[in-house]
Structure 1
Amino acid sequence: MYMKLSNEHKAQIKENLKEYFYNERSEEIGDLAAENLLDFIIKEVGPYFFNHGVNEAKDMCEQKMISLEEDIASLERPIKRNRS
């Protein structure tokens, strides 16, 4: 799975990576190094974040379904039984 980023987002992330390397490691990296790092992150690390998001969404949907079932059950009315 490969995530497609818009050119604007990709440029912003590359600038953030270059800034990070400069501020945290006192290294200057160029556009090519930043792009290679971004591609690596997307390919190798991205699936972990994607899967985590999918699992979070699944858990939220399950909770919403439980809540919906409880809400629907609360709408039921008691049935009076005729005594003969």
Structure 2
Amino acid sequence: MSDIKFSPEEKQHLVDKLQTYFEDELQQELGQFDADFLLDFISEHMGNYYYNRGVQDAQLVLQEKVEAITDALYEIEKPTRFHR
């Protein structure tokens, strides 16, 4: 799997979110440079946990859909004298 890359616009949006959080919640000013490095740190050291949780959530959704399809297929089976 390759690294997750954000467009410059997406990265700037995330940096802006960090700066706003620091200002609103911590009453601390976080400069552009520091916010960029903080975002890189969070992405590198914590991003995989969020990514893996998203993969697990997607697997669960897929599993539920496959089970629903399997149930639907059993419902449309026609009776025969042979059983599986």
TM-score bin (small chain): 0.7 to 0.9
- 8 Å CA contact 1:3–1:42 kept in 2: the answer is no
- 8 Å CA contact 1:18–1:29 kept in 2: the answer is yes
- Following TM superposition, where does structure 1 have runs of at least 4 consecutive aligned residues deviating by more than 4 angstroms? none
Partner of 2:8: 7
Identical aligned pairs, as a percentage? Answer: 31
User: Gapped runs of 5+ residues in structure 1?
Assistant: none
Q: Structure 1-normalised TM-score?
A: 0.87
User: Gapped runs of 5+ residues in structure 2?
Assistant: none
Q: Cα RMSD (Å) of the superposition?
A: 1.7
* 2:74 paired with 1:73: yes
Higher relative contact order (Cα pairs below 8 Å, separated by 6+ residues): 1
Number of aligned residue pairs: give it.
81
The Cα shift of 1:5 comes to 0.7
* 2:34 paired with 1:18: no
